[in-house]
Chains A and B, each alone.
Chain A
Amino acid sequence: MPTFVYMTRCDGCGECVDICPSDIMHIDKTLRRAYNIEPNMCWECYSCVKACPHHAIDVRGYADFAPLGHSVRVIRDEDKGTIAWRIKFRNGKKDMELLAPITTKPWGSGTPKLADEPVPSQEMRDSQLLFNEPKYIRMDEGGLHTLESNGLEIKRGVQY
């Protein structure tokens, strides 16, 4: 499902060009608007769709399983820390809305400040444990956390 750009909404800011992991979003040299230079190479990661400040990028579904009339659109709101999807089915009746958190604390606040950490001792250097292990894998609370230790089990089949 390659991406495409609504030319009337794009203002050529370059956010999609910047974020595209395949480097296939480019700015047209004449029209100064973004476009997908190689739709075959698009892996539908939706990065550009989410990054576009004007919601000018959409994803075109393959005609065999997503015929005309459907719509999948998204707003990634960094400030609120959520992602919202709206999926309209092609029968025009089902209009589904989804909202999920993408962060639980302010951006960047969970990044370890390595410069402020004390220099590791020789013993720590020789150890097989990585930085902040076992604290980060919580073995210090009594072994690895597993589904079993938490009283959970894997549910078989597709879950809705």
Chain B
Amino acid sequence: MFTSNLFAELSEVISPAMMQGYIVLMVLLVMGGTILDMMHKKSAQYFFENAKKAQKSAKRSVGGGEKASIAASVLVNEVLTSGEFSNPKRRLSHLLTMWGTIIFIVTTAIMIFGYPTPATPTPTLLPQLWHTGALMLAVGGYWFWFAIRVDVAAEGLPWFRFERADLFILSLLATSTFALIWSFTGGGLTVFFALFILSSTVLFGGVYFSKFAHMFFKPAAAYQKKITRADGSRENLPPDYDLTDPEVQKKFPDVPMYMGKNPPKMGLCIKAESAKHY
């Protein structure tokens, strides 16, 4: 069950060209939805205006090499490992959901384009990865839906209450769940396959209405934030002082006077406890 390419088996009923056409259509829907979303929210316009404003208050210029290393650090910290999350549970859930989705979608595309029929035998690793991806997505997604999201964890609302903003997570969950049920029930042209296709169409077609487009603008925003840190504009925030630096101690004599020349780490204070009283 976990080692067979269900799409190749399905090619007897639905032609591979049709399946490939569906994948292309979904890619086009994501691109179109993202562009519409950008135009509607004017997020790109805001982003560039904000970047220009930040550049005006820059204290130094950032070179090409430094920009490349910032881009690399955004890729490693923010994109690949979801480093922006302060809450480790949310980070873990996001990592499971994100990597599950990527593995699931990429293996689906490879199986449909690379091994469309039983005539070209699929390496067993691909279906295994496809199932693993769907499972990771389901685990991370259901954990988020039932326990982590603000409405349930903090606002005390029931898990079954949803808004239009939940379209993304719900269609993601439906896609992975129906894909897994479709596989467990033996594949083929069944009602679960129809539900799998329906939910994935809603997922990719609903980019304009959901938060799917965050995969494009979040890395851009993280990159811009790091650029403002590097060029000294820091979004008008104060610098990150090194308390042991003699220059800092000279400029702010209260620090060595009350805290000593080499102040210790003071610990977590309010960060010792997560926000849960609302």
The stretch that binds B, out of A27-35, A129-137, A143-151, is A27-35
Contact A79 B268 (CB under 8 A): yes
Interface string of A100-127 (1 = CB under 8 A from B): 1101111110000000000000000000
Chain B residues positioned under 8 Å from A81 (CB to CB): 259, 263, 266
Alpha-carbon gap, A55 to B248, bound state (A) = 23
Whether, in the assembled complex, B60 has its beta carbon less than 8 Å from a beta carbon of chain A, the answer is: no
Whether, in the assembled complex, A19 has its beta carbon less than 8 Å from a beta carbon of chain B, the answer is: yes
Are A78 and B267 also in contact (CB < 8 A) when A29-B163, A30-B164 are?
yes
The stretch that binds B, out of A9-17, A38-46, A152-160, is A9-17
A104's partner among B240, B259, B271 (CB-CB below 8 A) is B259
Whether, in the assembled complex, B146 has its beta carbon less than 8 Å from a beta carbon of chain A, the answer is: no
Min C-beta distance of B159 to chain A, whole Å: 15
Chain B residue at minimal CB-CB distance from A31 = B165
Alpha-carbon gap, A14 to B149, bound state (A) = 11
The residue in B84, B165, B236, B258 that gathers the most chain A C-beta atoms within 10 A of its C-beta is B236
The residue in B154, B240, B248, B269 that gathers the most chain A C-beta atoms within 10 A of its C-beta is B269
A99's partner among B43, B238, B272, B278 (CB-CB below 8 A) is B238
Chain B residues positioned under 8 Å from A104 (CB to CB): 258-259
B265's partner among A54, A99, A106 (CB-CB below 8 A) is A106
Alpha-carbon gap, A86 to B228, bound state (A) = 15
Alpha-carbon gap, A27 to B165, bound state (A) = 14
Min C-beta distance of B45 to chain A, whole Å: 13
Alpha-carbon gap, A38 to B251, bound state (A) = 39
Alpha-carbon gap, A91 to B87, bound state (A) = 39
Chain B residues positioned under 8 Å from A88 (CB to CB): 57, 236
Chain A interface category by residue count: 35 or more
SS class of chain B's interface: helix, strand, loop or mixed?
loop
Contact A73 B238 (CB under 8 A): yes
Min C-beta distance of A51 to chain B, whole Å: 6
Min C-beta distance of A135 to chain B, whole Å: 22
Chain A residue at minimal CB-CB distance from B84 = A11
Chain A residues positioned under 8 Å from B259 (CB to CB): 81-82, 101, 104
Contact A11 B266 (CB under 8 A): no
Alpha-carbon gap, A51 to B235, bound state (A) = 17
A27's partner among B85, B86, B87, B154 (CB-CB below 8 A) is B154
Interface string of B252-269 (1 = CB under 8 A from A): 101100110001111111
Min C-beta distance of A61 to chain B, whole Å: 13
Chain B residue at minimal CB-CB distance from A97 = B238
Whether, in the assembled complex, B275 has its beta carbon less than 8 Å from a beta carbon of chain A, the answer is: yes
Contact A75 B237 (CB under 8 A): yes
Chain A residue at minimal CB-CB distance from B56 = A92
Chain A residues positioned under 8 Å from B240 (CB to CB): 75
Alpha-carbon gap, A74 to B234, bound state (A) = 12
Interface string of A40-84 (1 = CB under 8 A from B): 000000000001011100000000000000010111001111101
Contact A71 B236 (CB under 8 A): yes
Chain A residues positioned under 8 Å from B221 (CB to CB): 8
Contact B254 A86 (CB under 8 A): no
Chain B residues positioned under 8 Å from A14 (CB to CB): 150, 154, 275-276, 278
Contact A84 B258 (CB under 8 A): no
Min C-beta distance of B247 to chain A, whole Å: 12
Chain B residues positioned under 8 Å from A19 (CB to CB): 270, 275
Contact B241 A82 (CB under 8 A): yes
Contact B270 A73 (CB under 8 A): no
Alpha-carbon gap, A55 to B240, bound state (A) = 13
B275's partner among A15, A32, A107 (CB-CB below 8 A) is A15
9 interchain pairs, CB-CB under 8 A: A11-B85, A14-B275, A15-B275, A78-B270, A81-B259, A99-B241, A99-B255, A106-B265, A107-B268
Q: Which B residues fall within an 8 A CB radius of A?
A: 43, 46, 57, 84-87, 149-151, 154-155, 163-165, 221, 234-241, 243, 248, 251-252, 254-255, 258-259, 263-272, 275-278
| Additional A-B contact list (9), CB under 8 Å, known A31-B165, A51-B270, A81-B259 | A14-B275, A15-B270, A30-B165, A32-B149, A71-B236, A73-B235, A75-B238, A80-B263, A86-B236
